[in-house]
Every structure is written in structure tokens, then in C-alpha cells.
Structure 1
Amino acid sequence: VIFIPVGLVTLRASHSVIAHSLALVVEIVKRYDIGCVHKPFRINKVLYIQDDSIPKNCSLSFKVPKYMKAPIDIYYQLDNYYQNHRRCGVFHLMGLKEELKVNRKNIAWKSDWEHKFGKNVYPFNFQNGTVIGGGKLKPRIPLSDQEDLIVWMHTSALPSFQKLYGRIETDLDVDDVVVVHLMNNYNTFSFGGKKKLVLSTTSWLGGKNDFLGLASCICLYRFFFGNLCRCYHAPTSTVSK
């Protein structure tokens, strides 16, 4: 029975922010992979993305639908992408450059950049192969300081996932115009993937995240019906003298 209130509370909390009169979490999602392909190349998007001579720079412009209180998380999202199978994506680094000031620090787990990724390890020979991904590592900067790589290296179990890129530390008001400059480098067209930019405020569970609430409800369902079936199929015993 305890799963019922836990599930309801976490579902409700995932859509609320601890600020601004408990306003709902505001999330802006913009797909850009196709829109950033120049029109003459849209009949053959794979050729476009693989041709290094074609500029891949692109700009997105959109209005803020609701007040967004800082900090505002910036994610890049990939759909239909099996990260645990497509190892060529390990060094995929987005080329996002926000007109607003973006904080790129503390986006990775502290235990990772303090212990797991070495301060004395430099990726000068990490990308000597033919497959690089969307961007290049900085060979003169230690791995512990390349937090976007650390974030990427946490493999997702699902084919659609978001990776934290940075945070905007300025509130955004309704109808504010946000301009994002990016490089549309990484090839998702070959496997039918999608690339999206996500801006999101947070609740005490993070951004929009129904996983905990849904997981609690699923646990309740399995517990209730599992025990019901167990009782129904319980064998009868006879006592013989």
C-alpha cells in the first residue's frame, strides 16, 4: 500500500518547481537535425552530413512560452540511438553555443571527475581512428576537466535519452527570445535517429521525470496482482490419518 502515496507524490513532484508559486516545470524541446540541413541537400541528408566541405553551422530561435526560473538545464537529446551498441558515438560532443551565459561546470558527477577520469590523462591519441563522432576532444585538457565527455560516457539503457550540456543561470520571462548557435555535425540520418535541444526547469526530482512515480505504480501493480495470483493458484493440501 505504501507504493500508492509514493507513486502519486513523485508523479506530482516531477511536474513542480520549488520556486515561483510552485509553477509547473517548463520544458522546451526543439528538434534541429533536419531543420539544420540546407534545403538543396534534404533529398540526401546522409551525403550532406558526411561532406566535411559543407558548413554545418545552424541557428535556432524560439520564444519562451512560460516564465522559467534559473537554473535552467540545457540538454541534448537523442532518439532511436542505442548508445550501448553504437560505440562510435562515445566522442559525440555537441557544438552548442548559447547567446545567454551558460555554466558548463559541475554537469558531471563529482566522483567521476575527482576519481574515475584522471587529471593526468590527456586524450591526445583518443581519436586517431576514422570514426570520431560529432566533435573532437581537446588534447591539451585533462579528461577530468572535459565534463561533457564524462556525461556522455554514462551509457544510457534506453534508445531515447538526454545528456546534460550546461545550465543557464538567468531567469527567462514569457516571450523572451532565445537564440542558439550550434553545429549539426553528428550523423543520425544513417540509422533514423533524431537530435533535439531541450531547455528545462527543475523540481526536487530534477526535470520532468515520471520514472519514479511510474515505477512505484508498476511495483504496486506487480505486488498486488502477483499476490492475488499466488493466492488463487495456492495448492490445497489434504491431511491423511
Structure 2
Amino acid sequence: MKASLVREEYTKITQQELPACKPSLSPLAVVSLFTIIGAAFIPIGYACLRASQQVVEASVRYDDVCLPGGSHKEQEQTLLQTNGSGSACTVTVAVTRRMSAPVFLYYELDDFYQNHRRYVTSRSDAQLRGSSVSAASLHKSCDPQTLLTGSTNAAIEPCGLVAWSYFNDTFQVTLDGAAVILDDSHIAWKTDVNKRFPAAPAAFVNTVPELRGGGTISGPIKADEHFVVWMRTAALRNFRKLWGRINTDIPPGANVTVLIQNRYNTYRFGGKKKVVLSTASWLGGANPFLGIAYFGVGGASLAFALAFVMLTWLTPRQPGDSTQLSWNKNR
């Protein structure tokens, strides 16, 4: 049998006859475009770098000084045995430039992989919203931290590795010997507080000392914005999270002392902890990358514009003359 031939319907799509636009830019248009991009991006890069340089930061590491006596192993065991009380210590933050209010207080963790796939997925957003969730669903979402140790019925609330490892160090600040109020209101995203965490879970305490995280939560989660901030996981292994604001100017050379209750056991995985004081600009915190990127693109565009000028106007090629083509020279 002969195969039947199916004649395809004639359309502009099947015959590729749709109207097309193929711009052919003149050398003047190319030079003008690169020049405009360079002239626009370089001032923007300067403004971004200027804003980043105006941000004042001061930080100090405290996990290596906020420890009881003894060897490193004894210090770690002491933290595990204090059942959450930790060890109190004070650190001094050196402020060399004036810090205008508001001054933001951050805690910074190094070598903590909040971006690990299993860590990020170990949570139940439905539970945090206050929805009714079955035990099977909780076990699937929050594995491996679903049930309290030694219990087959009591579910952790909220469950999951992210909530279970809740950062529980605390900070108090004095400025030249006088106590400073740390404003911790509105430190979390409004959408997180109102949409993602409206539930009122039962208070939970980390009963497994080896994990040394998971502070106590009482009442509605939205009332504990430190927890809401912690639950928004970081993209990198080194990150900082907002703890509060100081609504007082800090003059240069001021004696800023931070009283820390050191509970969070980063010694188990070799992590580091810092406390950071920082101001902010219209662009946010100190980050020169955006300004450098604008400078790089603007400078490259001006360089391309200059190269096109040299190739087209300083050494022009006559129409129809192919002697300057590289492929023709090699023949």
C-alpha cells in the first residue's frame, strides 16, 4: 500500500511568511547607543558607591570570648548542660565614625547553611498559618523534627529544622554606661507577619541539648518578630539577621557595650557569631557591588563606542572594497 500523502494547509506560519523585523544599525547608531548607556550608567554607579560608603558599620565577634573557663570541649559541654541559660558576657563595639539614628543591630552567623535543601524544606507553612494539619502531613513536611523526643503523640509546634534551630542568644546595649532601648518592632516583613505566620502555636522548648537551638515561643508567632525573621532562610552560608534598632545617634569614639547571653551552640559545627551595628542609606546597607557593576557596564560601553569610532571613521572602508576583510587577506 502506498502511504497516503497529507497536504499541509497553507498558512503564513507554516510557510514562514510572517512579517519580520531585522534591524540594521548604522555605525552612528551603534556609537550613540553605547555612549548613552555609558553616560547613564557611570553616574548611577557613582551614586551607588557614594551611598555604600556613607554607611557606617562596626562589628565584633563574640563566640570566642563569651565562654566559661576550661578547654574547648569542656566549654561546649558546659553550654549543653546549662539547659538554655548559656553564659553571659560583654563585648565592646568600636565606633570610629558617627552613626546617625536609626542604628540597626544585627547578629551574624558564619558557616551556617540555612540554604541546605533539607533544612529549607523541613517546615510546615500550613501549621504556621494555623491550619489543621494531619500527623502524616506534618511528618512529611517537617522530617526529621516532627515529634518531641520520647513521645509518639506530641507533635512539635512549630515543627521542622528551621523552627527547631531558632536562634536564642539575646542582646542588651549600653551607650557610655547608660542603657539603650532596642526597638524590635517591625523588624520582620509585614507580609510574613500578617500572611505567613498568623498562628498561635503552643510554646515549645528544645529538649535535645545537642541541637542547642529552638528558643521558647509563647503566644502568637506574629508577636515574636525575632522568630519570623529567623524563619526567612538566608541564601548564603554566612548571613546576618536584624535583631533591633537603636533610635539614638552614636557619636564617634562612644563606648558601646553589648551584654550578650550566649546560648546558641555554634561550637558544635565550628561556626562563628558576631554582633553588628550598622546604619543604612537610601540603597540599604553597605554593598559596593551594585556601584562597581554599573561602573563596569558604563566603562565597557564607552570603550566599545570608542572602538567603533576608530574602526568606522578613522579607518573607513570604501563601499564595495573587500580588501580589508580578514578572510580575503589570507587568500
Both structures adopt the same fold (TM-score exceeding 0.5):
yes
Q: Provide the identity percentage.
A: 38
Q: Residue 285 of structure 2 aligns with which residue?
A: 207
Q: Residue 101 of structure 2 aligns with which residue?
A: 70
CA distance in 2, matches of 1:10, 1:104: 28
Shift of 1:63: 4.2
TM (norm. structure 1) is 0.76
CA distance in 1, matches of 2:234, 2:89: 27
Q: Tell me if structure 2 keeps the 8 A contact 1:45–1:189.
A: no
Q: Residue 174 of structure 1 aligns with which residue?
A: 252
Secondary structure in structure 1 of the residue aligned to 2:64? coil
Deviations 1:51-74, CA, capped at 9 Å, x for gaps: 226841111234432221110000
Secondary structure in structure 1 of the residue aligned to 2:268? helix
Q: Tell me if structure 1 keeps the 8 A contact 2:106–2:240.
A: yes
Secondary structure in structure 1 of the residue aligned to 2:275? strand
1:193 pairs with one of 254, 263, 271 = 271
Q: Tell me if structure 2 keeps the 8 A contact 1:14–1:204.
A: no
Larger radius of gyration: 2
Shift of 1:12: 2.3
CA distance in 2, matches of 1:39, 1:168: 32
Q: Tell me if structure 2 keeps the 8 A contact 1:41–1:48.
A: no
Deviations 1:9-53, CA, capped at 9 Å, x for gaps: 32221122xxxxxxxx22111100011112324354432332226
CA distance in 1, matches of 2:71, 2:241: 28
Stretch of structure 1 that moved more, 98-107 or 51-60: 51-60
Any residues of structure 2 matched to 1:1-241 within 5 Å, and which?
1=37, 2-16=40-54, 25-42=55-72, 44-52=74-82, 55-85=86-116, 87=119, 88=161, 90=163, 91-98=166-173, 99-118=179-198, 121-124=199-202, 126-127=204-205, 130=208, 133-139=212-218, 141-216=219-294
CA distance in 2, matches of 1:81, 1:57: 22
Instruction: Go from structure 1 to structure 2 and tell me whether the alpha carbon gap of 1:113 and 1:219 turns closer, same or farther (over 3 Å shift).
Output: farther
Deviations 1:94-144, CA, capped at 9 Å, x for gaps: 3112231111101111111122210xx2231555663764451322x2111
Stretch of structure 1 that moved more, 56-65 or 76-85: 56-65
For structure 2, the 5+ residue unaligned runs are 1-36, 120-160, 174-178, 303-331
Instruction: Go from structure 1 to structure 2 and tell me whether the alpha carbon gap of 1:149 and 1:116 turns closer, same or farther (over 3 Å shift).
Output: same
* Structure with the bigger percentage of helix: 2
Secondary structure in structure 2 of the residue aligned to 1:105? coil
Shift of 1:205: 1.4
Q: Residue 227 of structure 1 aligns with which residue?
A: none
Stretch of structure 1 that moved more, 106-115 or 89-98: 89-98
Secondary structure in structure 2 of the residue aligned to 1:40? coil
RMSD, aligned CA: 3.1
Q: Residue 235 of structure 1 aligns with which residue?
A: none
Higher relative contact order (CA 8 A, sep 6+): 1
Shift of 1:211: 4.0
Instruction: Go from structure 1 to structure 2 and tell me whether the alpha carbon gap of 1:89 and 1:223 turns closer, same or farther (over 3 Å shift).
Output: farther
Q: Tell me if structure 2 keeps the 8 A contact 1:94–1:135.
A: no
Q: Tell me if structure 2 keeps the 8 A contact 1:78–1:196.
A: yes
How many residues matched? Answer: 217
Instruction: Go from structure 1 to structure 2 and tell me whether the alpha carbon gap of 1:122 and 1:211 turns closer, same or farther (over 3 Å shift).
Output: farther
Q: Residue 151 of structure 2 aligns with which residue?
A: none
Q: Tell me if structure 2 keeps the 8 A contact 1:92–1:133.
A: no
Q: Tell me if structure 1 keeps the 8 A contact 2:68–2:75.
A: no
CA distance in 1, matches of 2:180, 2:252: 16
